[in-house]
Amino acid sequence: MKRRSKFTMLATTAIVISLAVAGCSNSSSGSSTPSGGATAPAGAPSWCGPKKITLGLLDGFGGNSWRLVTTAAGADEVKKCSSVTKYEYADGQGDTQKAISDIQGMVAKGVNALVVFPDAGQAMLPALRSAYKAGVVTVPYRVFPGGKDGVDYTAWIGADFTTDGKNWGNWIKTNLPDGGNILFISGPKGNSQATDELKGLKSVLTDSKYKYIGETPEVTNWDPALTQQVLTTDIAKYPKIDVIVSDFGPSLVGALPAFAKGGRSIPSLVTSDGNSLGCFFADNKAANPDFKLMTVATGNDNVRLAVQYAVAKATGGKVPSDKVFKAPAFEDSVSGTPSQVQCEKNLPGDIYLSAQMSPTDQAALLKK
Amino acid sequence: MTNATMRETERVQSSRFANSKGFATVGISTVLLFVFSALAAPTSVSPGAVLGMIPFAAVLAIVGLGQMLVVQQGGIDLSIPGAVSLAIVIVSHEPNGDNNRLFPAILLALGYAAAAGLLNGFMVGRLGLNSIIATLGTNALLYGVVLEISGGIPRSTTRLLASVAAGITFGIPNSAFFALGALAIVAALVKRTVAGRRFEAIGANPLAGRALGLRVRAHQTLAFVWAQLLYSLAGILLAGITNQPTAFQGDSYLLPSVAVVVLGGTSLLGGRGFPFATVIAAIFLSQLDQFVLSLGVPYAVRTLVQAGALAVGVAVYTVDWAVIRQRIRPGSRRAPFLA
């Protein structure tokens, strides 16, 4: 008896909750067609239309300084458009389940536009699709969640990692014209970012005088301790490493001194930027004659394009023509263009001088 | 009934046998591993590779020594990830790049460690909770503090800490000196002081300890406090070694910490501890990592080899082969047990 009544209670609760949720999401899709016809706010960028909306920014994993700066950049971009009357943020904390329920929660609360960093990739697709089907402008960015624009979500604003690979490849071609041994270091096994970067690299470095050494890419999970172990082993194993390619430069700062321990100069490094890396270069270039550094922007501003796209779609503004964020080349210690290697010694290492947000603003974020 | 008495005597004998076996097994395995490494992947024993391996072995050794103290009291400490991560976060966030604030931050980290140890000790020693449950709870609590301080966002370590922890003196990484210091202190305290002898006696048999009038609960509590202080030291070193640690850097030390204790020959049932063997086991595991990395096999195979080696190592080591031989012998019906 007791068990049965418990079951009935559970079932009733479930029904009540699902009704409530259904009610909420209904009301949200109703409210997504508010008073139109007004004119765009004066002085606003072209992507900011007249319709009043609420926007949600969702992170799959907010736990590093890069994400902190990226989130702040997203919020900053939103602020430029006064048509966005309410802005909300949620952090999935690396938990796919939570990231999914964050999306559902925002839809239930009645947001009009969602900008999502779908860290879990494909696993996020059903949640994105259901948000899109509920009439919410849904813009996943950076990580590809599978699916199609206009079917599963409004549009995917990806980062073009192939361009990064090409930028690196071109630099290697210019600075190592006679070829050399390339050590490519990335994050978790099989991550799509590394696959694209490698594609870009290989499209430029077609000649067989460029040789990849080690497991390409070397698996480090972007964990500084593992990076250090992997690099130490490779230094011992390969007497000649001419250039290291890495898609997360700052994680190498703890590992690069291993070259000195082996009595060798740090070789050329092509990677993404970070203040700690820039300062490491400034401190160590004198003692390491072969140490040259080239970086591409680490792409904090990818989120800005995604926000612009989502806001434009939801408010009726002018939709940006570009759907892909191409990280520009940033530092080059050899040519000095677009910029010499930069180091803000008095500011924390965990800021990104390539980002639009000013270094002091980023430092202030980290102080919190 | 007679069977039970026989089994008791048997166990005492076999545990005495296992003591010498502990040091020998892990020592010989480590030497063999180095020889095998030199033959199969010579670069894994080159000076650069060994210098790169030692800091991580040192951190693992210090964490293992802490775990050993808890295991000696028949407990197991699952709060290592939180404890190590907390020390890392405190010494990297509090100074925020300022060398002058490093020392107070280290004191703060040790203070937190002592508090966490007292909490664990109170729950296990005083309240008599199961150590698995209690320390798991403490781990969650410590991670709460980690997130409170850092928001899950790591910070670079100060240059001073990086130069001390990752530096080299007389051709030997500084972290090795810290590990040797920790080993000397733990070994001297446990093996050469009256309190240490009482500590081991209580671990071997708390009831007998109480009957002798020893302060059982105080010793059990202190095991957790000392352990936490060691984890904290390991965390501080790790922060300096990695330079840009994550806020969850301690996660990867839980399983290895138990593995080195078991490989070192300390019984999970409590009693005598083997600090030297534990440290050698830490070198063994770290060199195994390095060796498999140097083989240049794909990541998938690498993980499989490590897991397999660990499982085989622990199994070969903990299974009481004498009992198994006895069991296989016709006429014997005794079940094998784990030492």
Write down the ipTM of this complex. Answer: 0.71
Residue A261 contacts B, CB cutoff 8 Å: yes
* pLDDT bucket at B337, cuts 50 / 70 / 90: low
Residue A359 contacts B, CB cutoff 8 Å: no
- Give the nearest partner residue to A261 out of B48, B245, B300, using CB atoms: B48
The alpha-carbon gap from A263 to the nearest alpha carbon of chain B, in Å, equals 8
Higher per-residue pLDDT: B142 or A346 = B142
> In the sheet that A84-91 helps form, which strands lie side by side, from edge to edge?
A84-91, A53-59, A113-116, A137-142, A157-159, A324-325
Residue B47 contacts A, CB cutoff 8 Å: yes
What average pLDDT does the segment A300-327 reach? 90
Q: What is the pLDDT of residue B313?
A: 67
Residue A46 contacts B, CB cutoff 8 Å: no
Q: Name the least confident of A68-77, A161-170, A235-244, B304-313.
A: B304-313
How many CB atoms lie under 10 A from the CB of residue B217? 18
Residue B37 contacts A, CB cutoff 8 Å: no
> In the sheet that A243-246 helps form, which strands lie side by side, from edge to edge?
A210-219, A180-186, A243-246, A268-272, A293-296, A329-332
Q: Bridge partners of B121?
A: none
Query: Measured between beta carbons, which residues in chain B are less than 8 angstroms from residue A65?
Result: 153-155
What average pLDDT does the segment A251-261 reach? 83
The alpha-carbon gap from A231 to the nearest alpha carbon of chain B, in Å, equals 9
- Could you give the CA distance from residue B211 to residue B195 in angstroms, rounded to a whole number? 17
Q: Does the distance separating the beta carbons of A215 and B298 come in below 8 Å? A: yes
Say yes or no to pLDDT of B3 above 60: no
Q: Name the least confident of A59-73, A144-158, B80-94, B113-127.
A: A59-73
What average pLDDT does the segment B66-70 reach? 92
Query: Measured between beta carbons, which residues in chain B are less than 8 angstroms from residue A63?
Result: 151-153, 246-247
Residue B193 contacts A, CB cutoff 8 Å: no
The alpha-carbon gap from A306 to the nearest alpha carbon of chain B, in Å, equals 23
Query: Measured between beta carbons, which residues in chain B are less than 8 angstroms from residue A348?
Result: 96-97, 155-156
Report the percent of chain A where pLDDT is more than 90. Answer: 36
Q: Which two three-digit tokens encode residue B252? A: 């990867």
Q: What is the pLDDT of residue B333?
A: 53
Query: Measured between beta carbons, which residues in chain A are less than 8 angstroms from residue B97?
Result: 348-349
Q: Peptide bond before B245: cis, by omega within 30 degrees of 0?
A: no
Q: Does the distance separating the beta carbons of B168 and A228 come in below 8 Å? A: no
- Could you give the CA distance from residue A10 to residue A185 in angstroms, rounded to a whole number? 51
- Could you give the CA distance from residue A53 to residue A33 in angstroms, rounded to a whole number? 9
How many CB atoms lie under 10 A from the CB of residue A353? 22
List the single best residue of A98, A189, A232 to mutate versus B (max B Cβ within 10 A): A232
B168-169/B172-173 β-pairing:
antiparallel
Chain B window 251-270: which residues touch A at a Cβ cutoff of 8 Å?
252
Q: What is the pLDDT of residue B5?
A: 45
Q: Name the least confident of A120-129, A295-304, B155-164, B187-196.
A: B155-164
Say yes or no to pLDDT of B334 above 60: no
- Could you give the CA distance from residue A202 to residue A170 in angstroms, rounded to a whole number? 10
Own/partner contacts of A299-302, CB < 8 Å, gap of 24 or more, are A299/A142, A299/A159, A299/A272, A299/A325, A299/A327, A300/A66, A300/A69, A300/A70, A300/A73, A300/A352, A300/A354, A300/A355, A300/A356, A300/A357, A301/A73, A301/A325, A301/A355, A301/A356, A302/A70, A302/A141, A302/A142, A302/A157, A302/A159, A302/A327
Q: Bridge partners of A58?
A: A90, A116
| DSSP track, A9-51 | HHHHHHHHHHHHHHHHHHHHHHHTS----PPPPTT--TT--SS
For residues B161 and B87, the answer to whether their CB atoms sit within 8 Å is: no
Own/partner contacts of A158-161, CB < 8 Å, gap of 24 or more, are A158/A323, A158/A324, A158/A325, A159/A299, A159/A302, A159/A324, A159/A325, A159/A326, A159/A327, A160/A196, A160/A324, A160/A325, A160/A326, A160/A327, A161/A192, A161/A193, A161/A196, A161/A197, A161/A200, A161/A247
Q: What is the pLDDT of residue A7?
A: 62
A293-296/A329-332 β-pairing:
antiparallel
- Could you give the CA distance from residue A162 to residue A144 in angstroms, rounded to a whole number? 14
Q: What is the pLDDT of residue A312?
A: 93
* pLDDT bucket at A339, cuts 50 / 70 / 90: confident
Q: What is the pLDDT of residue B182?
A: 93
What average pLDDT does the segment B89-103 reach? 82
Residue A65 contacts B, CB cutoff 8 Å: yes
Q: Which amino acid is at B67?
A: Q
Chain A window 95-154: which residues touch B at a Cβ cutoff of 8 Å?
none
Residue A61: closest CA among A188, A219, A155? A188
Query: Measured between beta carbons, which residues in chain B are less than 8 angstroms from residue A251?
Result: 244
Q: Name the least confident of A48-57, B109-118, B283-292.
A: B283-292
Q: Name the least confident of A105-109, A151-155, B14-18, B69-73.
A: B14-18
Q: How far is CA A38 from CA A48, A127, A247, A318, B67, in A?
A: 12, 32, 45, 15, 67
Q: Does the distance separating the beta carbons of A233 and B49 come in below 8 Å? A: yes
Say yes or no to pLDDT of B258 above 50: yes
What average pLDDT does the segment B295-303 reach? 77
Over residues A215-236, the pLDDT tens digits come to 888 888 777 888 888 888 888 8
* pLDDT bucket at A1, cuts 50 / 70 / 90: very low
Helix, strand, or coil (residue A143): coil
Query: Measured between beta carbons, which residues in chain B are less than 8 angstroms from residue A261?
Result: 48, 51-52, 168
Q: How far is CA A256 from CA A242, A271, A334, B225, in A?
A: 14, 13, 19, 36
* pLDDT bucket at B10, cuts 50 / 70 / 90: very low
Say yes or no to pLDDT of A31 above 60: no
* pLDDT bucket at A293, cuts 50 / 70 / 90: very high
Residue B334 has what DSSP assignment?
P
Strand boundaries in chain B, DSSP class E: 168-169, 172-173
Q: What is the mean pLDDT of chain B?
A: 82
Q: What is the pLDDT of residue A203?
A: 92
Say yes or no to pLDDT of B147 above 90: no
- Report how many Cβ contacts below 8 Å link chain A to chain B: 122
What average pLDDT does the segment B199-206 reach? 85
Say yes or no to pLDDT of B8 above 50: no
List the single best residue of A185, A218, A237, A276 to mutate versus B (max B Cβ within 10 A): A237
Q: How far is CA A240 from CA A176, A212, A363, B122, B319, in A?
A: 14, 12, 38, 56, 46
Chain A window 274-313: which residues touch B at a Cβ cutoff of 8 Å?
276
Q: What is the pLDDT of residue B14?
A: 45
- Give the nearest partner residue to B56 out of A223, A229, A261, using CB atoms: A229
What average pLDDT does the segment A105-132 reach? 91
Query: Measured between beta carbons, which residues in chain A are less than 8 angstroms from residue B245?
Result: 224-225
Q: Does the distance separating the beta carbons of A262 and B96 come in below 8 Å? A: no
Q: What is the pLDDT of residue B25?
A: 80
Sign of the C-alpha dihedral computed for residues B212, B216, B222 and B227 taken in this order: positive
How many CB atoms lie under 10 A from the CB of residue A79? 11
Chain A window 233-252: which residues touch B at a Cβ cutoff of 8 Å?
233, 235-237, 250-251
* pLDDT bucket at B178, cuts 50 / 70 / 90: very high
Say yes or no to pLDDT of A250 above 90: no
How many CB atoms lie under 10 A from the CB of residue B137? 16
Query: Which phi and psi (to 5°) does residue A80 adopt?
Result: -70, -15
**B188 Cβ contact partners less than 8 Å away, ≥ 6 residues apart:** B196
- Could you give the CA distance from residue A304 to residue A319 in angstroms, rounded to a whole number? 13
Query: Measured between beta carbons, which residues in chain B are less than 8 angstroms from residue A223?
Result: 246, 249, 252
List the single best residue of A184, A220, A261 to mutate versus B (max B Cβ within 10 A): A261
**A225 Cβ contact partners less than 8 Å away, ≥ 6 residues apart:** B56, B238, B241, B242, B245, B249, B252
Q: What is the mean pLDDT of chain A?
A: 84
Burial of residue A345, with CB atoms counted within 10 A of its CB: 0-12 exposed, 13-18 middle, 19 or more buried: exposed
